Amino acid sequence: MKAAMFLGPEDVQLQEIELPPLGPGEVRARVDVALTCGTDRKMYLRGHPLFEPPFIFGHEFAGTVTEVGAGVERFRPGMRVVAANSAPCGTCFYCMRRAPSMCEDLFIRLSGAFAEYIDVPAPIVAKNLLVVPEGVAARDAALVEPLACVVHGIERSGLRLGDTVVVNGAGPIGLLFVRLAAGKAGRVLVTDVRDDRLVRAMRLGADTTLNVGGLDDPAAAVRERTNGGRGADVAIEAVGLPETWEATVRMVRKGGVANLFGGCPSGTRITVDTSTIHYDEVQIRGVFHHTPRHVRAALELIAGGAVTGADLITGELPLDRLDDILSALVGHDGIKTAVLPQGR
Ligand SMILES: [Zn+2]
Ligand SMILES: [Zn+2]
């Protein structure tokens, strides 16, 4: 089959490879559509500690089962499926305390979406491979994994009806926050440094946008735009920069929640005024990844039409045009590219 092989940082090539025999508990699916994602971008530029090259690139997809390994009972050829990229172990300290995003043995091993077929590993088949409901298009279903992270993030933000919400960053994750927050919040204010992304944020339900590129104090500018200058009830960081984390904390009203969602480069630090936490009772939260429950909630939201592929997909290319796919990814050109391994 045709597959985009990751050979090393900035070296991903289209190759013709043999399909290996399918192992017990595994499911093979024809990839109907794959999506690019910010994690792919980081992986392309730097590699990834959990993945040893060569491996097949890409992890977001929806497909159709073509073959099942020994012992697989819930799936059979012809079923349309979507998978999250991980599976918690189900038995460690954190899993037993119903906090599987902190699983001590989290299996994050799904890679291989940018190919004609993908083999879903047994732990993911067991916990996070779902059947796509009838009538849901593959390009919508393929959003399950990033949306599951955002469902988790919204839940942990303690968002209440009528709240003023700030979303910093209008990339794929920030835009999904906007989409979900817009249904509950009174007002959603979005910041980014790119106008094209802010325009899309407005389309997805933002009430106000602010281009913070070149602003000396984005936090002050955001506060000015909230009720009475108090600050936001909830401010979400979906960029992954320490300076944006700090600014996000300063955008929150007394007693509000700062959800520092975007992963920063390892080893980075932030500084917070102690009075923000003591006198102002600002709650600072980090949220990582998703859980099987959030993956299922994400698919329900997609099936109900709350989020569609068209919200985020800005381009569509056959896998044969891998170079164009990669250059859009690296150049932050658009939001997500739909990759079509079956051509067209
Ligand atoms: Zn992703
Ligand atoms: Zn566990």
| pLDDT less than 70: residues of the chain | 344
In whole angstroms, what is the distance from residue 11 CA to residue 5 CA?
8
Position 344 scores a pLDDT of: 64
Position 49 scores a pLDDT of: 86
Q: Give the H or E element holding residue 154.
A: helix 144-156
58 CA to middle of ligand 1, Å? 8
97 CA to middle of ligand 2, Å? 9
Q: Considering every ligand atom, which ligand is closest to the CA of 145?
A: 1
Q: Considering every ligand atom, which ligand is closest to the CA of 148?
A: 1
31 CA to middle of ligand 1, Å? 16
Q: Considering every ligand atom, which ligand is closest to the CA of 101?
A: 2
186 CA to middle of ligand 1, Å? 29
**Reported pTM:** 0.96
Q: Considering every ligand atom, which ligand is closest to the CA of 127?
A: 2
Position 343 scores a pLDDT of: 82
Q: Would you say 44 and 329 are in contact if contact means Cβ atoms under 8 Å apart?
A: yes
Complete domains list, the chain, with CATH:
2-143+307-340 (3.90.180.10), 148-286 (3.40.50.720)
- Give the contacts of 158 (CB within 8 A, at least 6 positions apart): 234, 257, 283
Gap between the terminal Cα atoms of the chain: 16
One DSSP character per residue, 112-135 reads --SBSEEEEPHHHHHHHEEEPPTT
21 CA to middle of ligand 2, Å? 28
Q: Helices 172-182 & 195-203, crossing angle to 10 degrees? A: 30
Q: Is 112 exposed, middle or buried (0-12, 13-18, 19+ CB in 10 A)?
A: buried
